[in-house]
Each structure stands twice: as C-alpha cells, then as structure tokens.
Chains A and B, each alone.
Chain A
C-alpha cells in the first residue's frame, strides 16, 4: 500500500530543554500530544458513527443523513489537527534518494531551505484557510446536504491545524536538528 509508513513506531522521548525557548517547545509538544489523543478518539468515534449508521438503517430502517458528514468532519479534523505532531517527528514522507548522497554540511543547508519552503507554503495555506473560515462564518455557509451543518466547523479545524503545522515548521527552522524522531 503506502510506501510506507506503516508506522512501526511512535512517539520518541524528547530531550528536556532548559532555556526559555525550551519552555515554548515543551508547551507546544504537550499541546501536540493532547491533540493526538483527541484526534485518536475522533477516529474511533467516526468508526462508531458509521457502524451505527449501518445498524440503524438495516435493523431499524431509519434513513441515514448526518452520519457520513459527521464522520467526514471528525476525520478531516483529526488529519489536519495532527499534522503538526506528525511533522514534529518528520513523519511527512519525502524523497530521500538524492539527499543521501550529499555531504553532511550541504545536507544541513538543504534541510534548512526545505523547511523554510515548507513553512512558507503552510503559512500561505493557513492564511487562505483563515480567510475561508472568516467568509464561511460571516456569510453563514452551510453544507448542501439535508443535515446542512455549518461549514465553519471543519474550516476552523483545517485552519487551526495548518497554523499549528506552520508553527511546528518554524520551530524546526529555528532549531534545526532538534527532534529527529523516526519518520
């Protein structure tokens, strides 16, 4: 299936930081751990919702209208919100074929540039998510289904997730080499 990452391992213990900047790192890390827990629960809840949907339709012959959409919100939220935690361990896969051939010095420069570029893209995306969220809130957008939930809910999760991801990338630009967990 995926090249990858069947994720054989998970969290790595981080070295404690003593200085002031370290406090922010620590707070951010704790925030990420909390988000991972909440997102995990969201995935399980989404499974329950879909199972419930099958059961009610088959046994109780009720129509199902909100289950799919609720699951979409839960999963989209989990994905975007946890993207910073995944980046913290450099879990977003990259092509490393050529990278391996570079001398260590050049590689550090390359990593820095790549992180800056990733940050710029994610920050741009976060900003555009924010304008989308604002628009959806002001104009009171709803999804077009019969259930019609307000769209600011998923948009706010996407925005928050992209902001966190941008902050995470900025931290990695500022402190290169820190926290190289297994990808």
Chain B
C-alpha cells in the first residue's frame, strides 16, 4: 500500500473513532496499535508499551503534573480574590482602572497558576460581580475575564509550551522567555481596549443621565483610602515572591525547568498553608485529587499522542506529508497562514496538547525549510490555540464564565469576547511583522539563537 493511502486511512480512522466519542487518549492509542499490528513488523508491536513508557519517562514532560499541582494550590486558595482586590485598590483612579486591574490580575494569576480556566474562575468570580456592580456591561466584564484567562497558556510555566519544546526539540527556557514579550503585548492591548471601551460606556451612561436622568453606577467615583490599599498588599506579596522566586531559580541557573516545577509546587503548598491556613488533609485532598485527575487525563493523552506520532513517522506518513507541503513551494506567509488556519480548525476538536504532538512532525519541517524561527513559531502557535479557548465552538473559557455569571447570556459573553479575539489576531500579525517582540528577550538573556 502506498504511503498516501496508509496516511489517508490513518487520518480517516482517527477521525472516526474520535468523533464516535472515544476518550482521546484511548482513541489515539487504539488507532496507533491497530496500524502497528497491520503495517509494522511484529517486534515493534511487542515493544509498544516500552515505547510509550520511554517517551513519557522524561522529567520535562513529567514536570507537568507538578505545574498543575502548583496551579491547583494557588487556584483553590483565596489568592485570586486577594490579588484582584489589591490591584483594584491601586488602579481605580485610572479611567477603566477596574477593567485594567482585572486584566493585570488575570495575567499575574495565570503566570502563577498556568491554567486558563483556573484563571477565569479565580479572578472572574470576584472580578465579574465587582465590574457589574460598578456598571460595566455583562458582555464587557465577561470578555475581559475570558480573554485575560487565555494569558495562562502563554505565560511561563505553560504546559502547552513544555509540550511544544519537547515536540519541536527546542530549549524550554528560551521558549518561556520568548513568550514574555508577546504576553506583555497582549496585556497592553487588552488593557488599552478596556480603557477605550470603558470610556465609551461611560460617555453613553453620561449622555443617558443628562438626557433622561437615568443614573448609572459607572458615573459614581470610586473612593478607596490609602489604608485600603496597604491592607491588601501583604497578602499579594508572597505570591509575587513565589512567581519571581521561581523565575530566578529557572533563569539564574539554579534549577532545571522540571526542578522549578517541584520547587513551585512545594512553595505554593507552603504559602497557602501559611497564609490561608490550608494544610489539613481534608482541605488539601480536593487540591490533590483535582491535580491528579487533570494530570492523569493529560499525561495519558500525551503518552498516546507520542505513540501516535511515532507510528505516523515509522510509516513515513509525517515525512511524506511534510515533503509534500514543502514541494508545494508556497510562499512563506501563505504556508504560515495555512498552518495556523489548520491549528484553528483542529482547536475546534482537540485539546492543545494533542494538536502540538500530532502536528509537530508534519508542520515543523516545512516551517523550518521556509526559514521560520521555531521558537517564534511556538509562541505564535500558542496564541492561536489560546484563541480557541474564547471563540466558539469550543471556547472553554466562555463556559467557565457562564458558570460564574449565569445571568449573562451566552450571546452577550460571545459578543463581549469578540473584540479580544480581534486583538489577539492583531497581536499575531504584529509578531509576524516584528518577530523581535518575541525573540529579543530570549536572545538577550540566553544569547542569540543558532538559526
């Protein structure tokens, strides 16, 4: 059988079992196993489990559960509300300051927790009611939180990036650094939009008040004393210290990325014990169970995705597809656009982890041939996958928001989020035009990359 027909069969079979609703991990594993039995030598079927084990038994991959543990510990404490409260107290004088405080709180929290849905629910559960109480429209409030939450997979330590580094054989430290500039760009865009949108809502409320005398909370000035500001500060500091401590450990050369995960998880558990008195087995148990649940689900998908791409590469499916793409001789930007569109479509169905592991062997060689920097592409791909979290049909963050604020209609949530999707597209375009937004920091810290 030709590689083309095997490839078509492989893809077709995968689609069928996945859409039948078979758990992604088992679906990938089963398809890979069947193709091993049919098309590969017997010996390879015998070593299937060894293959999965050896692929998974890397400490870089296995740091993922520890990053999840750190995120769960932070996410389930009151840290989110406190962080949010403090930022609000310090920023309320800026027009739209409350919205901006929410964006910043999301970014900081995401950097600590590393998870988009966790960020949405932690910051959103305090931020959305507060914004609405202050007269922000439901859609606007929801949009800020949904979009702010996506920063989680861009800011280090991001699980998506760990997998990309493994799949693309790139330096994880460099990738983390390369994501910081773009993350700040997104924060700036989001905050800028929040300010502009606030002013337009404010003007409308003012006009309404002047013409019809309808009062809006938006018009009421916010009064917070200096005391309020300082009371909240100490509660946030330890987490900021945790965040910077972990970064220093990583980039100061004291710890490997995986050791950072262990260190971060440990510190997070100690901090929530000290600050929020969360230390009894009864209180820790939900944190640990949730961590285990998510880690197990994710690691099995990762292990089976690795087996899936191993089979794909053994049968030359990935190489042939990659060669075929190269042979099309598309212009660089057409190639990039086509690949990103494919990532968007795959994002409708698959979690980012599977997208990365399954497509990397196919899309990375053509991108490399077209002279794209793979670190830079990792950042772009991550932003594009983040977008999948806030637009239909999947838009996980939208559902998290819907859970926190059930009275905002899904339609309002979606329309509130759309401007942020546009901002993210703008960020991607900016990154394409000025790649140094992403690469300057990694080059500055780790020396120019060998490209």
Assess the A71–B48 pair: CB atoms within 8 A: no
Number of residues of chain B lying within 8 A (CB) of chain A: 82
The answer to whether the Cβ of B272 comes within 8 Å of any Cβ in the partner chain is: no
Per the bound structure, the CA–CA distance linking A131 and B114 in Å amounts to 38
Interface flags for A77-101 (1: CB within 8 Å of B; 0: not) read 0110011011101011111111100
B267 and chain A: residue at smallest CB distance: A51
Interface range on chain A: under 10, 10 to 19, 20 to 34, or 35 or more? Answer: 35 or more
Assess the A50–B66 pair: CB atoms within 8 A: yes
A124 and chain B: residue at smallest CB distance: B33
Assess the B293–A93 pair: CB atoms within 8 A: no
The answer to whether the Cβ of A47 comes within 8 Å of any Cβ in the partner chain is: yes
State the Cβ distance, A8 to closest chain B Cβ, in Å.
7
Among candidates B45, B258, B261, B394, residue contacting A3 with C-beta atoms closer than 8 Å = B394
Assess the A1–B115 pair: CB atoms within 8 A: yes
A1-B153, A71-B62 known; 6 new pairs, CB 8 Å cut-off, are: A3-B352, A3-B396, A4-B294, A71-B262, A132-B49, A132-B53
Chain B residues near A9 (CB-CB < 8 A)? 290
Q: Which of A137-183 contact B (CB under 8 A)?
A: 154-155, 158
Assess the B22–A158 pair: CB atoms within 8 A: no
Per the bound structure, the CA–CA distance linking A155 and B47 in Å amounts to 12
Choose among B52, B114, B288 the residue with the greatest number of A CB atoms under 10 Å from its CB. B288
Among candidates A72, A98, A128, residue contacting B59 with C-beta atoms closer than 8 Å = A72
Q: A4-B396, A39-B292, A47-B266 are in contact. Are A98 and B297 (CB under 8 A)?
A: no
Per the bound structure, the CA–CA distance linking A36 and B249 in Å amounts to 31
The answer to whether the Cβ of A30 comes within 8 Å of any Cβ in the partner chain is: no
Chain A residues near B56 (CB-CB < 8 A)? 76
State the Cβ distance, A19 to closest chain B Cβ, in Å.
28
Interface flags for B282-310 (1: CB within 8 Å of A; 0: not) read 00011011111111111111000000000
The answer to whether the Cβ of A68 comes within 8 Å of any Cβ in the partner chain is: yes
Q: A36-B292, A68-B59, A71-B262 are in contact. Are A93 and B29 (CB under 8 A)?
A: no
Residues of A whose CB lies within 8 Å of any CB of B are 1-11, 36-37, 39-40, 43-44, 46-51, 53-54, 57-58, 67-69, 71-72, 75-76, 78-79, 82-83, 85-87, 89, 91-99, 110-111, 113-114, 117-118, 120-122, 124-125, 128-129, 131-132, 154-155, 158
State the Cβ distance, B15 to closest chain A Cβ, in Å.
10
State the Cβ distance, A2 to closest chain B Cβ, in Å.
5
Interface flags for B319-356 (1: CB within 8 Å of A; 0: not) read 00000000000000000000000000000111111000
Assess the A125–B49 pair: CB atoms within 8 A: yes
A107 and chain B: residue at smallest CB distance: B21
B161 and chain A: residue at smallest CB distance: A1
Assess the A96–B21 pair: CB atoms within 8 A: yes
Assess the B152–A1 pair: CB atoms within 8 A: yes
Per the bound structure, the CA–CA distance linking A158 and B53 in Å amounts to 8
Chain B residues near A154 (CB-CB < 8 A)? 53, 57
Among candidates B33, B57, B115, residue contacting A121 with C-beta atoms closer than 8 Å = B33
Write 26 A-B pairs (CB below 8 A) sorted by A numbering. A1-B114, A2-B298, A2-B353, A4-B351, A6-B71, A6-B72, A6-B115, A6-B121, A7-B289, A44-B288, A50-B261, A50-B263, A54-B254, A54-B263, A71-B262, A75-B65, A76-B57, A86-B292, A91-B296, A92-B23, A93-B301, A94-B23, A97-B19, A110-B20, A125-B52, A129-B49
Chain A residues near B418 (CB-CB < 8 A)? none
State the Cβ distance, A139 to closest chain B Cβ, in Å.
12
Interface flags for B248-290 (1: CB within 8 Å of A; 0: not) read 0100001100110111011001000000000000000110111
Choose among A47, A57, A155 the residue with the greatest number of B CB atoms under 10 Å from its CB. A47
State the Cβ distance, A131 to closest chain B Cβ, in Å.
7
State the Cβ distance, B42 to closest chain A Cβ, in Å.
12
Assess the A40–B288 pair: CB atoms within 8 A: yes
State the Cβ distance, B39 to closest chain A Cβ, in Å.
17
The answer to whether the Cβ of B375 comes within 8 Å of any Cβ in the partner chain is: no
Interface flags for B218-261 (1: CB within 8 Å of A; 0: not) read 00000000000000000000000000000001000011001101
State the Cβ distance, B448 to closest chain A Cβ, in Å.
28
Q: A2-B352, A117-B17 are in contact. Are A92 and B59 (CB under 8 A)?
A: no
Assess the B29–A121 pair: CB atoms within 8 A: yes
Per the bound structure, the CA–CA distance linking A84 and B47 in Å amounts to 23
Assess the A43–B19 pair: CB atoms within 8 A: no
Chain A residues near B442 (CB-CB < 8 A)? none
Per the bound structure, the CA–CA distance linking A6 and B115 in Å amounts to 8
Assess the B23–A40 pair: CB atoms within 8 A: no
Top 5 nearest A-B pairs by Cβ distance?
A50-B262, A40-B288, A92-B23, A3-B351, A7-B290
The answer to whether the Cβ of B108 comes within 8 Å of any Cβ in the partner chain is: no
